[in-house]
Amino acid sequence: MDVISLIISIIVLFVALGLKKRVGHLEQLIESRGIASRREILSDSPVPVPLENLAQPAPFEVGVPLPKTAELERPSLFGAFVRWAEEDWLMKLGALLLLIGFGWLVRYAFLNNWIGPVGRITLGIACGVLFLAGGWWRMQRFTSQGSVFLALGSGIVLLSIFAARFLYDFFTPLSALIVMFLSVAFVALASVRFRVRSLSIMVAWMIVFSAGAFFVFKTTAKRVPFFAYAAVSVALLASATAVELEGARLTIAYIIESACVSLVIYAALRDTKLALRSTLLLVGPAALSIQSIMAREWRYSVLHEHFFVLLLFASVLCALGIFFGKRIDREHAADRMGSALLLVFGSIYYYVLLWLSLHAGFKNDDTAVMIALAVYTVIGIICYFYQEADQSNHVRAYGGALLGFVVGRLLIVDVWNMALTGRIITFFLIGTLLISTAFLWRKKSP
């Protein structure tokens, strides 16, 4: 009962503060309107208008249909949902991951008996109340973000009350239903106070869900010679390298030679476009690098020859992308895309290197996956909020794709492969990182 009284007192406090703020706002509004009306009475005086200046009505013709006014198109339910999902979608994904992680945390706490039953339920309800309070505070400036926090807090409270009632019989059905109703009523109050229709619809479904659950529970030409000699030289160099080297050393040599060929072409001809096209020679080292990715040495150690193959290849790709990207005219969109692709593939090799190194360094695969996904998430968030007018769209799309990969892997792969403990920590960590984007968003929602 102490928990119930605590929740009721917190809700009553927020309601009282909200009512006080609204009354003060109404008093200021009435006073401002009263002063404005007095000024209008004293200053405005009617000005006579001659009859000939009045507009004459248009002649009315019998049998001519009146023009129909254009009907306002109301957005469809699916369109409204898409617009809602597009706004602060990172934060909403984070809230979903946190809610899933909280459900697993409750289950894990029950199975391992971390704390007593009273502490488990109290902790869950307290977390829910904190999210409710934070959602109310956030809705005063960012309506969409605050509604997500309110929904998350109410969902946590509902989960905690369900667990308390069904597993421990802490509450009677009536008292549990009252506490759940108070949580939903607080969200309903926020939807009315801030005029959020989607939140009120969600509240209605929450009420149906809560009552139904209890019911169910209960019952160019000069260059030709140059290119010819260059092609022969590259072919001879590649042949000599293949004869002398093998394995990882051969891949490293091909990476260095391919990069040097591109740089020599640029230094000799000062043609960024041709030099950028010559980077296609890196396709050969890319094919050879697959052996380094699949090498057995990753099972035993981190630092070996295959590690340096991937590190060198990623560094060369990124360095060439930056080098040529700074020397390409802004008008040549295709060439800029080529340098951007070098950067993208270079970053992918860095991600692969990080993934393999973490799995080789940690005995627990769940820990390696958690750290790797957390690093990917941080990089994705930084790229998504990258604010430079020149490349903001491309970098933003890159960050969004990386974040989509992280969330997709979590929901499709790791949710089945991870142990329960690793799942809880990973979902909480990624969800918290995504929710933190709410405080990076500068645009006020309607």
**Residue-wise pLDDT tens for the chain (446 aa)?**
444 444 444 454 454 555 556 656 666 777 666 655 555 544 555 555 554 555 555 554 544 454 554 444 555 666 666 666 666 677 777 777 877 887 777 677 767 766 677 776 787 788 788 877 877 777 777 666 676 677 777 777 877 777 777 777 777 777 777 777 777 777 777 766 666 655 555 555 555 555 555 555 555 444 444 444 445 444 544 444 444 556 777 777 778 777 887 887 777 777 777 778 878 888 888 888 888 888 888 888 888 888 888 998 899 899 888 888 787 765 565 667 778 888 899 999 999 999 999 988 887 888 888 899 999 989 988 888 776 545 557 888 888 889 888 888 888 887 788 888 888 888 888 888 887 776 665 444 44
Residue 283 lies inside a defined structural domain of this protein: yes
Sign of the Cα torsion 428, 433, 434, 440 reads positive
Task: Report residue 263 as tokens.
Answer: 């740089």
**Number of domains, the chain:** 1
Residue 83 lies inside a defined structural domain of this protein: no
370 within 8 A of 423, measured Cβ to Cβ:
no
174 within 8 A of 180, measured Cβ to Cβ:
no
Task: Report residue 44 as tokens.
Answer: 């405005």
Evaluate if pTM is beyond 0.85.
no
Question: The tokens 């930084």 sit on which residue?
Answer: 382
How far is it, in rounded angstroms, from Cα 248 to Cα 305?
6
Please, which residues have CB within 8 angstroms of residue 273's CB and are 6 or more apart in sequence?
328, 332, 335
3-state helix, strand, coil in the chain (%, to 5): 80, 0, 20
Residue 292 lies inside a defined structural domain of this protein: yes
pLDDT value at residue 258: 78
pLDDT value at residue 389: 47
Residue 235 lies inside a defined structural domain of this protein: yes
pLDDT value at residue 205: 53
331 within 8 A of 325, measured Cβ to Cβ:
no
Residue 231 lies inside a defined structural domain of this protein: yes
Residue 276 lies inside a defined structural domain of this protein: yes
How far is it, in rounded angstroms, from Cα 296 to Cα 311?
17
CA atoms within 13 A on the CB side of 149: 26
pLDDT value at residue 137: 77
Domain that holds residue 234: 222-342
